[in-house]
Amino acid sequence: MDRKTYTAELAGLRELRTEITAAEKAVAAAQKELDKLTVQRARRVAGLAGYEGAKADAIAKASGLTLADVVRIAPLLDPTPAAVRAAKTDSQAAADAPAPAPVAAPGAEPASVVAPVTRPAAVLEQPVPAAPATEAPREDEDQAVAEQPAPVAARVESAVSVASVAAALRPVVEAGPRELPALHEGLAGARFEAVTTGLVSKRPNFVQQARSTVFLDAATRDLAVRDQVVRLDLGARTPGEILDAVLATAPGTERIYITAGAPWHDGAERYSTLKDAVAAWLNTPSERWTTAVGSGRDKLAGHFVHQRQPVGRYAPAASPEGPVTEIRSMGEWFDPDGADVVTCRDAFRLLWQALRRQWDDAVLMGSPSQTGRDLWSRTIPTTGKWAGGYPVLSEELRGLLHATGGQGRTELILPPRVPEQLPALVEYDRTFAYAKHLWKSPVGTPRRITARAFAAMTEQEQTKALMSCSHWNVRVTVPQGWNHVGLLPAPVTGDRAWVYPSEPGAPFTTWAGGAEVHLALSNHLMPWKVEILGGLLFEDGKPLDEWGKRLKAAWADLTNLSKLHADERQRQAAYLASRAVRSVLLFGLGGFAQRPRLVSGTTPVGEALPAGVEILGQANEVVTWQRQAGFSRDPYAHPEWAAYVWSGARAALLDMKYRQGKEVIASAGALHAKPGTVVYFGTDGIALTERQPWPYRGEPGDYLLKGHLTGPVEHPTSQEQYLKLRGQGRAELAQMGADQ
């Protein structure tokens, strides 16, 4: 090529560059217009769902969408057979029963996303039932997570769910052993000693933006905005009327916390389940408001349906891409327990102040789970081995931990192991329990320990391995002569998932954390027979230690204030704020244990089913199925941390040492009570038939006497009955204290 040709080519390249730039601008403009039209279409589809006779297939044809896309936007139009829908009633009734205590981020929002496929129709992605809920997306644009809330009302759970289909269509069988996964051999096993490439938990380089927040008592209609209280006219208490009333008084509000009155339960008697009632309320048609569908990098889109703590996200109907306003429940943070709206506002303010003393950039986000994980991310070290962040384990290893790392122990012990007539029902609750177990956690890539390698260790090396951050596959036999509660969890089918065998001679194979295995081998009553089949040994680290210390400091400040403040309202507010700190830790920890998603769907009889599905049942010529959908690439997924803390907490329910320096000064837990006196385990508490001499110092992990119901008491036959008795015992103990 000569110089003349070279010069001519350069000139031509410049012209081409100009044409490309113009084309790019045209594409960007077209994409912007397409996004705008798509949002309008979604809003219209959602609006059509409010018509009683609306049909998903007709709307799909008119809109040019697939049936699955229509269901994604308006789940109430889901064409799933009525028989499957109706079957939700029984299973949902059980789900609506009160729980003894939250165990793993129930306040967090699972990322249920409709899979946009053409066939089979009505495919919904949901987290594994009864698992710690995955945290909702972070409220910033710089740190988007892979799993996002579904647009419009896609997370309305009136659509068929894995749990409801399974409960309705599977035959009723007795719970039996459930086979747990094991470590693979050879090349396949290498993935169980690996991390996910390019996925690391890093310290954020931005500051969260606070959102304008108000507090509304929907019963009294009082609104606390800044330092004022205003009485509103809420009309029929629909979302649109609440938004109109609040924003007319407090323009620019981005978050409304309902402290009392639960408007989403209005008219609940007309629906088969509470969730259906909540879903209908969230999607009440409004001329002025529409469900926020989000656009571009905006992650705040769609509603989250929960029977008692829903989240509604709304945007102006005239501008769906405009500012989003959330309606949320105060119960995500703490039980207001009759507190007025001013006290709830003061509690939120005290919570922020307490956290701000520990983090100079602390911001209260929508939920405790979001807040907890954001605060943790700001404790990631900037120096040392983990300055670059903590790596996320491989999908295989995360899957193993999800399948084998149970949560808090919940067990009602029935006669004849305890008397049918209880002499009393005494409840002990571990104060701020999980905070005691954050000082050490597994980090890095684990080392696989085979049965042969463990057997070759010296006794001292074995003890060290068990006391380190570890997870073990074991074959267990309950010893002859054992007459106390079970020590290790055994997997079973059915709703319970885990039981705790205690019958002498009972054999089972399971996985458990090193703390539990060591306790079974070395407890002071009688050592159990435990054979190590294999395990994973992590490096001991402190990824949660700083986070835990700061939360404990905030909790201690608020707890002291709740006892010492001269003003009764401020004492109550401080107490509620201390409960909110507990929620931040509890649900923040649960947010690390993110579950693999399940995809469920329907296919007409006779058509080919997707690969790898499990058939759940058949009704009205439609086959219902489910399959695993794997994990998202979430940089904050650390199930190894949650599993280790849960294991330590379960062990402490059995045996916990009170120390003064290095000296053990007292012990507590079920194994230190008489055989036959333990009635109930409830995550971080125990109910017994008699009082115990366990000291209480007010420190995290200490056993606090929480309730005492004088007997004789008829033994509860269900968790619901136990919870009723527990409430009576707490009331009786409070009265005893008031009389003294």
pLDDT of res. 10: 79
**Using CA atoms, how far apart are residues 410 and 369, in angstroms rounded to an integer?**
22
pLDDT of res. 272: 84
Give residue 143's pLDDT band: very low, low, confident or very high (50, 70, 90): very low
- CA distances (Å), origin 117, targets 5, 70, 114, 269, 723: 52, 11, 9, 35, 44
Two structure tokens written together for 136 = 């909702």
pLDDT of res. 183: 84
Per residue in 714-734, pLDDT tens? 999 999 999 999 999 999 999
Q: Looking at residues 137-165, what average pLDDT do you find?
A: 31
Which secondary-structure segment (H or E) carries 533?
strand 529-541
Strand partners, 624: 602, 617
**Residue 201 Rama label (left phi>0; alpha psi -120 to 50; beta):** beta
**Using CA atoms, how far apart are residues 274 and 559, in angstroms rounded to an integer?**
35
**Over 60: is that where the pLDDT of 159 sits?**
no
Letter for the amino acid at 314?
Y
What are the sequence ranges of the domains in the chain? 19-77, 213-376+546-579, 409-543+639-736
Q: Helix, strand, coil shares of the chain as percentages rounded to 5?
A: 35, 20, 40
**Using CA atoms, how far apart are residues 306 and 278, in angstroms rounded to an integer?**
7
Rounded to the nearest integer, the mean pLDDT of the chain is 82
pLDDT of res. 18: 85
Per residue in 662-718, pLDDT tens? 889 999 999 999 999 999 999 899 999 999 999 999 999 999 999 999 989 999 999
Per residue in 15-25, pLDDT tens? 888 888 888 88
**Over 90: is that where the pLDDT of 330 sits?**
yes
pLDDT of res. 100: 40
Q: What percent of the chain has pLDDT over 70?
A: 79
**Using CA atoms, how far apart are residues 161 and 145, in angstroms rounded to an integer?**
24
Strand partners, 95: none
**Using CA atoms, how far apart are residues 164 and 181, in angstroms rounded to an integer?**
25
Per residue in 71-104, pLDDT tens? 667 665 665 544 444 444 344 444 444 444 433 3
Two structure tokens written together for 489 = 């969890």
Two structure tokens written together for 466 = 């068990």
Q: How many CA atoms lie within 13 A of 214 on its CB side?
A: 30
Give residue 138's pLDDT band: very low, low, confident or very high (50, 70, 90): very low
pLDDT of res. 379: 96
Q: Looking at residues 450-476, what average pLDDT do you find?
A: 95
pLDDT of res. 60: 79
CB 426 within 8 A of CB 705: yes
| DSSP E strand boundaries for 550-675 | 597-604, 614-619, 622-630, 656-660, 663-668
Q: Looking at residues 326-336, what average pLDDT do you find?
A: 96
Two structure tokens written together for 44 = 């219209």
Per residue in 289-323, pLDDT tens? 988 876 544 455 678 888 899 999 999 988 877 78
Give residue 576's pLDDT band: very low, low, confident or very high (50, 70, 90): very high
pLDDT of res. 411: 94
pLDDT of res. 64: 85
pLDDT of res. 738: 66
**Using CA atoms, how far apart are residues 432 and 536, in angstroms rounded to an integer?**
29
Residues 416-429 as b or e (16 or more Cβ within 10 Å = b): eebbeebebbbbbb
**Using CA atoms, how far apart are residues 623 and 615, in angstroms rounded to an integer?**
7
pLDDT of res. 457: 96
Per residue in 354-393, pLDDT tens? 999 999 999 999 999 999 999 999 999 999 999 989 999 9
Cα-flanking dihedrals φ and ψ of residue 134, to 5°?
A: -75, 140
Q: Looking at residues 258-262, what average pLDDT do you find?
A: 96
Enumerate the H helices of 117-238 as residue ranges.
162-169, 186-189
Per residue in 45-66, pLDDT tens? 777 766 667 777 788 788 888 7
| DSSP E strand boundaries for 213-252 | 213-217, 222-225, 228-231
Q: What percent of the chain has pLDDT over 90?
A: 55
Report CA 39 to chain centroid distance, whole Å.
Answer: 30
∠ CA 288-292-293 to the nearest 5 degrees? 130
